[in-house]
Structure 1
Amino acid sequence: MINDSATGSLEGSTFWYTAVMIPRTHTREKPYSCDVCGYSCSKKSSLQINMRTHTGEKPHYCEVCGYSCYQKSKFMRHMRTHTGEKPHTCEVCGYSCSEKSDLVKHMRTHTGEKPHSCEVCGYSCSRKSTLQIHISTHTGEKPHSCDVCGYSSSRKSTLVTHMRTHTGEKPHSCEVCGYSFSRKSTLVTHMRTHTGEKPHSCEVCGYSCSEKSNLQIHISTHTGEKPHSCEVCGYSSSQKSKLVRHMRTHTGEKPHSCEVCGYSCSQKSALVTHMRTHTGEKPHSCEVCGFSCSQKSKLVSHMSIH
């Protein structure tokens, strides 16, 4: 066999490839190694690709956007971002994607497979990236930080959303009223003001609302829980927002100011009432005699005469 190969016999050369090259997948022989990093492989072509990570060579170039890379397979996947080609399809639901790895992850939504697990608490998930984010809840690591204010997060997506507080970008807009938001989740909640949907309900009294946070606040009316407390005087509340307003009675902070006369106050509702002294608006009226006023408390006092 070796003699046939040496004489250039096509049959012998083919047999030599079959007998010598293929078994490396079984023997794990890796005769090709990188002098720079020590990486070893069974194919010369794989070594050539590895060398490009050291030389910076990127021979595969996209004529559409100028993207370049050192692997042909990566280049082919990139081109699908331009062509929209999605050759990998789910036989269960018809979902399609451009990369095979994405289809593998998608299939786990059907099989329920969760191959990635946390060694600390046993939490398991279908994606490695999700596990990495989870691990940060144990380590406290927050690798994604804001260059503007120093805010840091364990998730890149959270940082992207945070950056919009600086840029003012609001990419999610309501098709009904045109109102826009920086977060998709906020848009979803906003849409319920149009649809009337109230998916969060109280198991005690049947109260329902559009936001989960509002349900949690409502639940406290049954439990009596008041987790937000003042360190100065001991005042406690079921809502964090109420504690924030209460703290202004100690700090004297008045963040809400009138653009007409400069009047300032600690609560937004007080500013709304004050503005009526300039606009003349009197939204509270008596059903008996037609008397109207700018404050609800004044209407209550007026009703006592009837």
Structure 2
Amino acid sequence: MQTSTGNKPFSCEVCGSAFSQNSSLKRHMQIHTGEKPYSCEICVSTFSQKAHLKSHMRTHTQEKLYSCEMCGSSFSDNSSLKRHIRTHTGEKSYSCEICGAAFSQTVNLKSHVRTHTGEKPYACEMCASAFSEYSTLKSHMRTHTGDKPYSCEFCGSTFALNVTLKLHLRTHTGEKPYTCEVCALSFSHIFSLKSHMRTHTGEKPYSCKICQSTFSLNCNLKTHMFTHSGEKPYSCEVCGLSFSRKSAVKRHMFTHTGDKPFSCKVCGSAFSLNRNLKSHIRTHTGEKPYSCEVCSTSFSENSSLKRHIRTHTGEKPYSCDICGSTFSQTAHLKSHIQTHSRIGIKC
């Protein structure tokens, strides 16, 4: 169809687009008809335009005809080069009509728009989970296939996601790029920094539905829930004792191995638990951080404060199985038990 549209006399009857040549109109019409007359002899992919087939063939030949004058990077097609150039110029030609955010590529704009619409066009055929981006679907599929294509060059560990590998590599390099603005402590993971910040803010966003106790970390809430369920999922492989915390199993193992990894820098004394080392350090420093609210007496250990509190409350939680006498401390009960063994009679 020929119309008088200035320098573009050929117009599309479907959408009204105008072209200067009839051949251009014919190529354009294939967008509407879905016709793809050009096919790849290697992988049988089909294309609506010959130029697209030529670009595609370079994915097989690895030919990269288009080079960036700024950094020398090469590309198989001109459109990829143009997109790359924007990383140098900072040009962001595509903007969101909803919030005004600007992007250098249309594909990034399309992904962004889905954050507004909630559209998730990419669905998993195995579990029906849906995703807003195809790359996220591909990553998700590995949870079904078990595929772990990313491997650590240091230890050989493999990962399903490249981002997980990058986080893992910091365990080898010691890199800690995330720094606390309050105390300058550094962390290898951003979520570790976020968790740490709660020690400054006092925020405890995770709450127990049973007793309303609150926690700064979700893992601490999960561990706390065992106090309600009585569940002890972590067992000692040596003696079979069970614990509600994994860390408790690790500490318990020292009773079997005799390992004492925590040593005092002042006198060299070694301890199996870090908390025992901390208590020991106070014998050198004289620090007494635990104070009685009744009489202000201070103690170096919390357990000593608890024993002292009983002198005010009169509580005697330890009782003799033989005569029923009660005591405020286990040491007093043990001394009392010996009076039965010496006398050989009941009180």
1:30 partner letter: P
Which residue does the alignment assign to 2:76? 70
- List alignment gaps of at least 5 residues for structure 2: 1-7, 11-19, 313-347
In structure 2, what is the equivalent of residue 28 of structure 1?
35
Task: Write the mapping of 1:119-138 to structure 2, written as runs, cut at 5 A.
Answer: 119-138=125-144
Question: Which has the greater radius of gyration?
Answer: 2
Distance change in 2, residues 1:64/1:262 (3 Å): farther
Runs of 5+ consecutive residues of structure 1 not aligned to the other structure: 1-9
Structure 2 CA distance for partners of 1:18 and 1:134, relative to 1, 3 Å: closer
Alpha-carbon distance, 1:207 to partner: 1.4
Q: How does 1:68-217 map to 2 (within 5 A)?
A: 68-217=74-223
Aligned-pair CA distance for 1:183:
0.4
* Equivalent residue pairs, number: 295
User: What is the one-letter code of the residue matched to 1:196?
Assistant: G
Q: How far apart, in 2, do the equivalents of 1:19 and 1:282 lie?
A: 87
- Say if 2:285 is the partner of 1:280: yes
Give CA deviations for 1:232-282 in whole Å, capped at 9, x if unaligned: 3232222111111112222333332334554332211122233344x4333
**Alignment partner of 1:61 is 2:75:** no
Match of 1:7 in 2: none
CA-based RMSD of the aligned residues comes to 3.3
- Return closer, same or farther for 1:27/1:130 CA change in 2, 3 Å cut-off: closer
Query: What's the CA shift for 1:181?
Result: 0.7
1:227 equivalenced with 2:233 (yes/no): yes
For the residues of structure 2 that align with 1:290 and 1:19, how far apart are their CA atoms?
92
Using structure 1 for the length normalisation, give the TM-score: 0.81
* Counterpart AA for 2:87: T
| Identity rate, percent | 47
CA apart distance, 1:173: 1.0
Supply the distance in 2 between the matched residues of 1:206 and 1:293 (Cα, whole angstroms): 31
Q: Residues 40, 29 of structure 1: CA spacing in aligned structure 2 closer, same or farther, 3 A cutoff?
A: closer
**TM-score (norm. length: structure 2):** 0.73
Structure 1 position 286, deviation (Å): 6.5
Q: Per the alignment, do residues 301 and 224 of structure 1 end up closer, same or farther by CA in structure 2, a change over 3 Å counting?
A: closer
Distance 1:57 1:258, change over 3 A: same
CA contact (8 A) 2:288 2:298 kept: yes
Deviation at 1:57, TM superposition (A): 3.9
